């Protein structure tokens, strides 16, 4: 191994180890993780929430047993590779050991600590954006076409991971037009890379077209239910908070890219950040949508700081101290980046951090725990109680049971924790579960297990018996109070209604068939 790669590799290893070791098993998987894991049972070129790349990881995870280690492997792996690229980029633009270490540590202690712990498309998104800028910088340095094609591959695969990649592409094109690098847009290798990216994304594009472009409906729902709560002021405040321990690294990095003469060749990278954040501001994007734009700023900021320190006699002594600064700054908020402490302890210390917005959920209100943490408890209890209810059904009719849940978190958790038990798959009309709802069987259902049913009293006339058989009682769960009802011998009228509602819900996403 080349000596220059040793320090970046050590930083990547540190990131990998910390992500696993600083996690309390008092928490379960996150609500979204259960949905994404269910993709592995239904491989396709697209889903209502995201493109198909996550499904491939889910399929591999389930093939390996689906345990906690394998679920967390993917975000931790993508985060570790990102650290490596951040450190290597610092080297490529002239940084020594201090710049490399500072850039890598800045990444490790920022919001990526939590991001790279959740099995979601976000970790790969950050990796794809960072890798794309790395490839662009290498092309600007060497003029080698292979880096443009690497850029095309990263953007194509990025589009297979998350649709926010198109915002990044828009920022990239705008930035190239604003700088002398616009000449790239006229080269055949640029267009070759663009065609390569398009070909990689083409299967998902065809899937979108075949299903009525559900991405548009998804964005409309986000705007109506979540993005409406994102104010411009909160968005920009969060930009400072998300990477606060490294703000003194990435801000100089941005300014240096825009005004530092030795970085004039890379000015396009600074414009990518500005254009990307402008797009997200206008569209009222969530704060964390911008996380993919910061890692490269850490690289350039660390490289700029290194010679500035060399001007002072005490610079050599200050370097080890400055490497410790990001770590010291993260200590007060460490429990909100890593799941160190169980929920009861988090509730006790939470009020001290309320002003930082850490306890604010998507509904715009403050709660006892951060939303991500509340979304990581109560699921095992729900799955076990559903299994227990199923076990009490008569053997002769148990196979004619439909488990219907109010949302994808409930359905996904029941399926995940019962994956080694002979329990029918849980279903929902929420998200991509719409595609997986079973066709109406020839033999009518004898039992319905209704999870999260909001109006059970209205359904009493449609069953021979309807009774509550379980409820989530974990006081820290976002799903606290979610009920499980068992209905026996549902009427044909009710089943007609169920399947009519299913078709109506599908039509909202992809139009009537």
Give the whole-number percent of the chain exceeding pLDDT 70: 97
Task: Look at residue 23 in the predicted model and tell me its pLDDT.
Answer: 78
Listed in sequence order, the residues at least 6 apart from 364 whose beta carbon sits closer than 8 Å to its beta carbon are: 229
Q: Is 3 helix (H, G, I), strand (E, B) or coil?
A: helix
436, 479 contact by CB (below 8 A): no
Task: Look at residue 347 in the predicted model and tell me its pLDDT.
Answer: 87
Q: Which of 7-21, 89-103, 260-274, 417-431 has the lowest mean pLDDT?
A: 7-21
448, 404 contact by CB (below 8 A): yes
Task: Look at residue 1 in the predicted model and tell me its pLDDT.
Answer: 54
CA atoms of 244 and 250, how far apart (whole Å):
10
CA atoms of 208 and 219, how far apart (whole Å):
14
Give the whole-number percent of the chain exceeding pLDDT 90: 76
DSSP string, 361-414: -TTS-B-SS-HHHHTTSSHHHHHHHHHHHHHTS-TTTTTSEEEEESSHHHHHHH
Q: What is the pLDDT of residues 88-131, one digit of tens each?
A: 999 999 999 999 999 999 999 999 998 999 999 999 999 999 99
Task: Look at residue 78 in the predicted model and tell me its pLDDT.
Answer: 98
Compute and round to an integer the Cα radius of gyration of the chain.
25
Task: Look at residue 2 in the predicted model and tell me its pLDDT.
Answer: 64
Count of H-run helices and E-run strands, the chain: 22, 5
Q: Is 25 exposed, middle or buried (0-12, 13-18, 19+ CB in 10 A)?
A: exposed
CA atoms of 96 and 173, how far apart (whole Å):
31
DSSP string, 47-103: -SSS-THHHHHHHHHHHTT--HHHHHHHHHHHHHHHHHHHHHHHHHTT--HHHHHHH
CA atoms of 412 and 35, how far apart (whole Å):
5
CA atoms of 21 and 17, how far apart (whole Å):
6
Q: What is the pLDDT of residues 491-512, one digit of tens each?
A: 999 999 999 999 999 988 876 5
Q: Tell how strand 447-451 and strand 401-405 pair up.
A: parallel
336, 244 contact by CB (below 8 A): no
Q: What is the pLDDT of residues 372-395, one digit of tens each?
A: 899 999 999 999 999 999 999 999
Is 3 a residue whose pLDDT tops 70? no
End-to-end CA distance of the chain: 58
409, 427 contact by CB (below 8 A): no
Q: Is 342 helix (H, G, I), strand (E, B) or coil?
A: coil
Task: Look at residue 37 in the predicted model and tell me its pLDDT.
Answer: 97
Mean pLDDT over residues 403-425, rounded?
A: 96
- What b-and-e string marks burial along 489-501, b requiring 16 or more CB atoms within 10 Å of the CB? ebeeeebeebeee
Q: Is 363 helix (H, G, I), strand (E, B) or coil?
A: coil
Q: At 56, list the tokens.
A: 């491939």
Mean pLDDT estimate for the chain: 92
Spacing of C-alpha 142 from chain mean position: 33
CA atoms of 206 and 475, how far apart (whole Å):
45
Q: Where do the domains of the chain lie?
A: 9-336, 343-370, 379-510
Q: What is the pLDDT of residues 158-174, one digit of tens each?
A: 999 999 999 999 999 99
Q: Is 310 helix (H, G, I), strand (E, B) or coil?
A: helix
Task: Look at residue 52 in the predicted model and tell me its pLDDT.
Answer: 97
CA atoms of 436 and 502, how far apart (whole Å):
11
Give the confidence band of 56 by pLDDT, cuts at 50, 70, 90. very high
Listed in sequence order, the residues at least 6 apart from 184 whose beta carbon sits closer than 8 Å to its beta carbon are: 139, 148, 176, 190
Question: Is the model more confident about 138 or about 342?
Answer: 138
**Tokens 């559903």, residue?**
386
Dihedral (CA of 122, 124, 126, 128) sign = negative
Q: What is the pLDDT of residues 340-367, one digit of tens each?
A: 889 999 888 888 887 777 788 877 788 8
CA atoms of 266 and 258, how far apart (whole Å):
9
Is 315 a residue whose pLDDT tops 90? no
- Find which of 25-29, 220-224, 422-426 is predicted with most confidence, using mean pLDDT: 422-426
Is 222 a residue whose pLDDT tops 60? yes
**Tokens 């002594």, residue?**
317
CA atoms of 38 and 147, how far apart (whole Å):
35
Q: Is 471 helix (H, G, I), strand (E, B) or coil?
A: strand
Task: Look at residue 311 in the predicted model and tell me its pLDDT.
Answer: 81
CA atoms of 118 and 224, how far apart (whole Å):
25
Mean pLDDT over residues 429-454, rounded?
A: 94
Instruction: Break the chain down into helix, strand, coil percent, rounded to 5.
Output: 65, 5, 30
Give the confidence band of 18 by pLDDT, cuts at 50, 70, 90. confident
CA atoms of 131 and 253, how far apart (whole Å):
17
């Amino acid at each position: 191994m080349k000596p220059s790669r040793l320090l970046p590799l050590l930083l990547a290893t540190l990131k990998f180890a910390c992500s696993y070791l600083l996690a309390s098993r008092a928490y379960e998987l996150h609500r979204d993780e259960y949905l994404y894991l269910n993709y592995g049972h239904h491989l396709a070129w697209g889903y209502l929430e995201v493109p198909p790349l996550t499904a491939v990881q889910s399929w591999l995870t389930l093939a390996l047993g689906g345990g906690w280690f394998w679920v967390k492997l993917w975000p931790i792996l993508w985060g570790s590779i990102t650290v490596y690229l951040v450190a290597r980029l610092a080297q490529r633009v002239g940084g020594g050991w201090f710049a490399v270490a500072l850039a890598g540590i800045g990444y490790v202690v920022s919001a990526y600590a939590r991001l790279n712990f959740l099995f979601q498309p976000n970790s790969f998104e950050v990796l794809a954006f960072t890798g794309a800028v790395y490839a662009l910088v290498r092309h600007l340095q060497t003029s080698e076409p292979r880096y443009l094609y690497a850029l095309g591959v990263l953007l194509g695969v990025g589009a297979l991971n998350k649709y926010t990649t198109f915002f990044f592409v828009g920022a990239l094109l705008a930035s190239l037009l604003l700088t002398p690098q616009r000449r790239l847009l006229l080269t055949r290798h640029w267009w070759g890379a663009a065609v390569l990216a398009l070909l990689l994304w083409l299967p998902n594009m065809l899937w979108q077209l075949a299903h009525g472009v559900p991405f548009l409906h998804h964005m409309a729902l986000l705007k109506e239910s979540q993005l409406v709560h994102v104010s411009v002021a909160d968005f920009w405040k969060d930009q400072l908070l998300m990477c606060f321990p490294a703000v003194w690294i990435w801000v100089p990095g941005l300014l240096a890219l825009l005004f530092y003469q030795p970085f004039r060749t890379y000015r396009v990278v600074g414009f990518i950040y500005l254009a990307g954040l402008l797009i997200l501001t206008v569209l009222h994007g969530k704060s964390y949508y911008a996380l993919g734009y910061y890692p490269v700023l850490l690289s350039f900021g660390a490289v700029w700081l290194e010679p500035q320190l060399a001007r002072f006699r005490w610079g050599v002594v200050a370097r080890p101290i400055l490497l410790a600064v990001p770590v010291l700054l993260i200590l007060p908020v460490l429990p909100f980046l890593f799941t160190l402490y169980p929920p009861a302890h988090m509730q006790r210390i939470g009020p001290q951090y309320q002003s930082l917005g850490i306890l604010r959920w998507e509904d715009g209100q403050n709660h006892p725990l951060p939303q991500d943490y509340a979304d990581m408890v109560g699921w095992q209890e729900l799955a076990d109680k559903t299994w227990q209810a199923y076990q009490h059904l008569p053997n002769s009719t148990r196979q004619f049971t439909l488990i219907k849940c109010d949302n994808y978190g409930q359905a996904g958790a029941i399926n995940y924790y019962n994956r080694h038990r002979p329990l029918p798959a849980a279903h929902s009309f929420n998200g991509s579960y719409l595609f997986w709802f079973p066709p109406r069987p020839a033999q009518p259902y004898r039992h319905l297990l209704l999870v999260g049913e909001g109006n059970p009293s209205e359904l009493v006339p449609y069953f021979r018996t309807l009774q509550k058989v379980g409820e989530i009682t974990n006081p820290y769960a976002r799903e606290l109070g979610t009920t499980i009802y068992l209905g026996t011998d549902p009427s044909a009228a009710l089943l007609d209604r169920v399947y009519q509602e299913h078709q109506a819900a599908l039509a909202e996403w992809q139009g009537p068939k």
